[in-house]
């Protein structure tokens, strides 16, 4: 009887160890999936930031273009006034 009890006990221990190992691997898989989702969210945030920076760069170039046009117009007006003022 003792030998049979020992066998049952060892079988239970082995089953418990296998269950713990299975649960550990399931948890690792869950963490990997969560990490993948976190990386995807970060990539989306990076894309949004890049889009925003591109928009700001476009706005800066527009302002610079308008400033150049104004400076050219003022320079032309000053030259015209200088030529006609004599």
DSSP assignment of the chain, as one string?
A: -HHHHHHHHHHHHHHHHHHHHHHHHHHHHHHHHHHHHHHHHHHHHHHHHHHHHHHHHHHHHHHHHHHHHHHHHHHHHHHHHHHH--
* pLDDT score, position 86: 57
Tens of pLDDT along 20-64?
Answer: 999 999 999 999 888 888 888 888 888 899 999 999 999 999 999
Does the pTM surpass 0.95? The reply is no
Task: Give how many domains the chain has, as a whole number.
Answer: 1
User: 7 lies in which domain range?
Assistant: 1-86
């Amino acid at each position: 009887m003792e030998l049979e009890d020992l066998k049952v006990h060892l079988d239970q221990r082995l089953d418990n160890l296998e269950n713990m190992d299975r649960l550990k691997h399931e948890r690792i898989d869950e963490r990997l999936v969560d990490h993948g989702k976190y990386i995807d969210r970060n990539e989306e945030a990076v894309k949004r930031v890049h889009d925003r920076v591109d928009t700001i760069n476009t706005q800066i170039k527009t302002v610079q273009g308008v400033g150049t046009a104004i400076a050219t117009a003022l320079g032309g007006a000053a030259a015209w006034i200088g030529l006609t003022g004599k």
